[in-house]
Amino acid sequence: MIPKLSDTNKFIADRIHRVPPSGLHRFFGIAASMPQVISLGVGEPDFPTPPPITQAAYHAIYEKPIGYTANSGLMELREGIAKHLTDLYEVSYDPKNEILVTVGVSEGFKCVFQALCNPGDEIIVPSPCFVAYEPEIIFADGVPVPVICDAKHDFEPQAADIRAAVTERTKAVFLGFPNNPTGAVLTRENAIEIVKIAEEHDLLIISDEIYDRLNYGSDHLCVPALPGARGRTILMGGFSKDYAMTGWRVGYICAVPELLEAFSKIHQYAVMSAPTISQFAALAALEIGEPFVQDMKAEYDRRRKLVVSTLNDIGLDCFEPRGAFYAFPSIRRTGLTSDEFSERLLVEQEVAVISGTSFGVGGTGHVRVAYCKSYEQIEIALERIGKFVASL
């Protein structure tokens, strides 16, 4: 007989209990069991990885040594990332000691928060935000301090609110723009104000710019390129979204050498190096991926226009997102909560959207609509959403 543990909970660390279970798994479980469902839930490109990138990886398997790479990643890839950032944003990082290639941006969070947080250290996080930010801060024994981003301010964090949230325990201000789940981008004036606050209080800025290439109508604002920002900014970027490479698991962190060394310590003991084949694919993405990025972006933009105008016509007020591939309409007029709206829409019309509360307190009264489906599927989904709202 297998001996049973008396109380498994007592073995599990408190920090794990401090993170509530994600409701998303249950929701996606239900959605997966419904054959006619159209999911606008998952934030993952519906495009395949561009074939020449996959082919480059295929050739690498046969032609290159597929051992561990240097802990910080293939030198050619770090050089490619450095060139890419200089070409696009005129911000320069030394590939030798200022760039760390990670297992997606996700692993980057672990390296950064664990290296920065002593128990009780606070990180200011605009809310709503990507689901992993707050849990990863808590797993590192830090304290996420949400600052609400409101639709009336185009979902941008207001400098005054950030200033008001700073305490003696604040270590960093986290920014994630273009934003998941709202699609908001940062405006230059606002970002400059936030950098000033960081300078005044000697804080770090952590900037997750994984959606940097997916912006519509304005150029991406790269935070470390702002005056005075580079030295105190930890830039995080990746290949999952811009290049449709979620499964390859490659991201990167750029920062001054002293900080990067601390992140590298966690990285080298946790994973040694990011997957080697994927690093060759990421290098190919930088070298030959641009036309594919532009094509995907044009198609996302077409869908974005359809989604925003149709949701507004249906009566769900929808702010115009300028980045990523999400729309974040208000569902307050329906009288339902965000959870009720998404659950009933799923059951009654077989369309999956995510309740805004999954993205933190700032998401209350909204749902996230990911337009990572074909234009035709999105048209059908929007028609069903219209029927659902009309039936209330």
Q: Which stretches of the chain bind ligand PLP, using CB under 6 A?
A: 43, 104-106, 130, 176, 180, 208, 210, 238, 240, 246, 251
Chain length of the chain:
392
Residues 297, 244 contacting (CB under 8 angstroms): no
Burial category of 351 from C-beta neighbours within 10 Å (exposed 0-12, middle 13-18, buried 19 and up): buried
Rank residues 131 and 380 by Cβ distance to ligand PLP and give the closer one: 131
Rank residues 147 and 389 by Cβ distance to ligand PLP and give the closer one: 147
Rank residues 240 and 264 by Cβ distance to ligand PLP and give the closer one: 240
Least spacing, CB of residue 392 vs ligand PLP, in Å? 30
Rank residues 133 and 319 by Cβ distance to ligand PLP and give the closer one: 133
Least spacing, CB of residue 176 vs ligand PLP, in Å? 5
CB atoms under 10 Å from CB of 16, counted, come to: 11
Least spacing, CB of residue 3 vs ligand PLP, in Å? 38
DSSP 170: E
Separation between Cα atoms, residue 229 and residue 206, nearest integer Å: 11
Least spacing, CB of residue 222 vs ligand PLP, in Å? 15
Least spacing, CB of residue 385 vs ligand PLP, in Å? 23
Dihedral angle sign, alpha carbons of residues 53, 56, 58, 60: negative
Structure tokens at 318: 């929808």
Separation between Cα atoms, residue 281 and residue 279, nearest integer Å: 5
Of 295, 306, 184, 302, residue with least CA distance to 243: 295
Residue nearest to ligand PLP (CB): 104
Least spacing, CB of residue 384 vs ligand PLP, in Å? 25
Least spacing, CB of residue 37 vs ligand PLP, in Å? 20
Rank residues 137 and 389 by Cβ distance to ligand PLP and give the closer one: 137
Count of CA atoms in the C-beta half-sphere (13 A) of 259: 21
Of 228, 238, 280, residue with least CA distance to 130: 238
Rank residues 101 and 226 by Cβ distance to ligand PLP and give the closer one: 101
Which residues are within 8 A (CB) of 289 and not within 5 positions of it... i.e. 6 or more apart?
A: 50, 53, 242, 243
Least spacing, CB of residue 127 vs ligand PLP, in Å? 13
CB burial readout 150-182, b (16+ within 10 A) else e = ebeebbbbbbebbbebbeeebbbbbbbbbbbbb
Rank residues 112 and 389 by Cβ distance to ligand PLP and give the closer one: 112
H or E element that contains 96: none
Rank residues 148 and 166 by Cβ distance to ligand PLP and give the closer one: 148
Least spacing, CB of residue 181 vs ligand PLP, in Å? 8
Using DSSP's 3-state secondary structure scheme, residue 287 falls into helix
